[in-house]
Amino acid sequence: MQLFILFSVLITLAAFFSYINVRLFKFPSGISLMLMGVLASLGLIVSGYFSSGFKAMIQQKLELINFSEFLLGILLSFLLFAGSMHVKVPELRKEAKSILTFATIGTLISTFCVGAIMYELAQLFAAPVPFIYCLLFGALISPTDPIAVMSILKKARIPQKVEINIVGESLFNDGIGVVIFATLLGIAAWGPEQFGVMEIIKLFGREALGGLVAGALIGFTGYRMMKAIDHFQTEILISLAMVMGGYSLCHYLHVSGPLAMVVAGIMTGNRGAAKAMSDITRDYMGKFWEVVDEVLNAVLFMLIGLEIVMVSFNREMIFAGLVIAPLVVVSRFFSLYFPSLIFGFKRKLGIKTIYVMTWGGLRGGISIALALSLPPSTYKEIIVSITFIVVLFSILVQGLSVGKLISKLKFSGEK
């Protein structure tokens, strides 16, 4: 019952803040909810100076939710499936090379760049962190959050090729980032001596390729079942089974659930919508998943803002986070520019696209969830604190200004 009450409070706050935003501020919904959640958290922190019991009670209630398991084990499957349903295969196919290159090679480059920066800064701040943990931080902070990215792009007017590159890369690099993180976590747990090159290749291959194959099987099974009937209630139920049952199966098989949900969502939103659904089913299916996406986004961003109450910050960590945050953006630019130059995408996409993908590549709940999923160690608190600061900088600073950047770059005349 306590968990139900907590979620009731979260939904109520999200509804109230969304109402205020629509009436007054008109920010992208995710940013507004997170901003108001942060302000609510700051209010709770200030009130804690006057009543430590009140702050302790709030922390106790929030502890009922394991944020990492809640996002990675539940929310992520729904949000990735819902988001990928809107990606059109013909557009994705045109930009497939650049999307896959950015999502794989770009994420790996960013992981090592950010890891090296973190390692050097840790030495500078006299708080040395082993390089493998610095790489773990690089892996969890490098993937852009598709949930945050898509909430921004709903209001942005950019060319189709730019939008599909941003959305496609954010959907796939999310799954790749989780796989890289899991691989590095295995190395940290077992040691590089016990975790050789072949073991890394096997783990990475099983997670990534296994996730893609599982997603294709889940998507094809759902497509065949929907095509055999014409009953929108049952077809929506099938789509829910694809997400919940499919994600659970991926967890059991130890393959990438996020990648599977992206593939299954793309298949459902394209082949399924075109050949397996009637007009009525297509309409209800689209509206159902749009509502699910909005509601879960609201809960997620509100929870991210409130989770600040649970994190211990000190002056050094805040300063370190503010230093690292812009350097993460620089690493993001390098991880996009270098592959685009080497593989010839720069001429096709243009430097403007790289700028927008850099500044519009927001970090969000996935980074926080991965940081919180780290096993207890002396370095976890440092990584969690810095991750929160980088995410706040990303969504509140980059998210609120990316629209102005797009306007200044004058994309309106391009197609």
Per-residue pLDDT tens, the chain, 415 aa: give them.
Answer: 678 888 898 899 889 988 998 898 888 777 788 888 888 888 877 776 676 676 677 778 888 888 898 888 889 899 899 989 988 999 899 899 999 999 999 999 999 999 999 999 988 876 788 999 999 999 999 988 776 666 666 666 777 778 888 888 988 888 888 889 988 988 887 776 666 677 778 878 888 899 999 999 999 999 999 999 999 999 999 999 999 999 999 999 989 999 999 999 999 999 999 999 999 999 999 999 999 988 888 888 888 888 888 887 888 888 989 999 999 999 999 999 999 999 988 888 889 889 989 998 889 888 999 999 998 888 998 999 999 999 999 988 998 888 888 888 876 545 4
Residue 16 lies in a domain: no
- Number of residues in the chain: 415
Residue 84 lies in a domain: yes
CA distances from 186 to 2, 136, 190, 214 (A): 35, 10, 6, 22
CA distances from 167 to 54, 92, 361 (A): 41, 10, 10
In which residue are the tokens 């019952």 written? 1
- The number of domains in the chain is 1
Angle at CA of residue 271, ends 270 and 276, nearest 5°? 120
C-beta of residue 321 within 8 angstroms of C-beta of residue 99: no
Instruction: Report helix, strand or coil for 314.
Output: coil
What pLDDT is stored for residue 413 in this prediction? 47
Domain that holds residue 147: 67-409
CATH of the domain at 391: 1.20.1530.20
Residue 352 lies in a domain: yes
The pTM of the full predicted model, rounded to 2 decimals, is: 0.88
Q: Among 270, 304, 302, which Cα is nearest to 390's?
A: 304
Residue 257 lies in a domain: yes
Residue 75 lies in a domain: yes
Residue 51 lies in a domain: no
Residue 299 lies in a domain: yes
What pLDDT is stored for residue 387 in this prediction? 94
Query: Is the alpha carbon torsion for 181, 301, 397, 153 positive or negative?
Result: positive
Residue 116 lies in a domain: yes
